[in-house]
Amino acid sequence: MFSKKIIVFFCLGLLVLPMYAQTVKVKKEKTRVKNEYADGFEVELQGTSEEVESSLTKLMKSFGKSKTVENYIVVSEPLIREKKYTTPVYGVNKQVGNIISAWVGFNSDDFSKNDQETLNNDLEKIVYDFGVNFYREKIQKQIDESVRAATTVQRQQQRLQTQNKNLNTKIEDNKREKIQLEKSIEKNRVELETLTKQLEKNKKDQDSVAVAGDQINKVLDLQREKQRKVN
């Protein structure tokens, strides 16, 4: 049952959620990949390492066939913004203390100047969009949870309203039955008094009839005796 305590705890949980708009900031950052420093873009995210890693993995798969090597994800022949590259891009889920971030980048030595410029522009936008979508999806999960909770509360309200209606109906039925029972009890009391009086009268009538019967029997005895004496 969805109790009042659960509703209270859920509401308190809503109060601790940040009510301000989340700002996504992307910065250009070098990250060590395969014993070398690669250029790329990094975004700090408020979430668990598992959440960031899962989202980053999905992002890297959107570029093409990916695989995880040591502490990074690599896509050997990425397709980025409809442009195919023959050299890899990398993704790294980073955590320093309580700060968790996602980084996407490439080894500049593997790309031409033009490709570097294009890739830098594209990756900066992609990482920014990635951060925005990360928070939107995270908030959507909270919205879904709130909708489920609201639906549960609504169903509970409907159940209680139906229960209230049924209880009121039973109370009214009980009241009517009580009135009928009270009338029956009163009728029974009157009938009992009447029958009791009739019983007492019946006893008196029986006594009177018995006396009369005795007297008649005595008269009969006298008459029969008198009849025998006739000669």
pLDDT digits (tens, 9 = 90+) for 203-225: 998 988 888 888 888 888 888 88
HEC states along 94-150? Answer: EEECCEEEEEEEECHHHCCHHHHHHHHHHHHHHHHHHHHHHHHHHHHHHHHHHHHHH
* Cα distance between residue 225 and residue 153, in whole Å: 104
Confidence of residue 78 (pLDDT cuts 50, 70, 90): very high
Distances 223 to 22, 200, 209 between C-alpha atoms, Å: 130, 35, 21
* Residue 80 in domain: yes
- Tens digits of residue pLDDT in 151-169: 999 999 999 999 999 999 9
Task: Give the pLDDT confidence of 99-123 residue by residue, as tens digits.
Answer: 999 999 999 988 999 999 999 999 9
CA-CA distance, 40 to 65, in Å (whole number)?
20
Q: Residue 69's domain is classified under what CATH number?
A: 3.30.310
Residue 69 resides in a domain: yes
**Any bridge partners for residue 101, and if so which?**
44, 94
Neighbour order of strands in the sheet with 89-96 = 26-33, 36-45, 99-106, 89-96, 72-75, 66-69
pLDDT greater than 70 at residue 19: no
Residue 1 has pLDDT above 50, yes or no: no
Residue 192 maps to a domain: no
Closest of 117, 84, 118, 88 to residue 104, by C-alpha:
88
Residue 42 lies in a domain: yes
User: Do the domain assignments include residue 218?
Assistant: no
Tally of residues, the chain: 231
- CA distances to 20, 83, 101, 110 from 122, in Å: 28, 10, 19, 17
Q: Is residue 136 part of a domain?
A: yes
Instruction: Give Cβ neighbours of residue 1 (< 8 Å, ≥ 6 apart).
Output: 156
Domain total in the chain:
1
**Mean pLDDT computed over 112-140:** 94
Q: Is the pLDDT of residue 7 over 60?
A: no
Q: How far is CA 85 from the centre of its chain?
A: 49
103 within a domain of the structure (yes/no):
yes
**116 is in which domain, residue-wise?**
12-146
162 within domain boundaries: no
pLDDT tens digit sequence for 41-76: 999 999 999 999 999 999 999 999 999 988 899 999
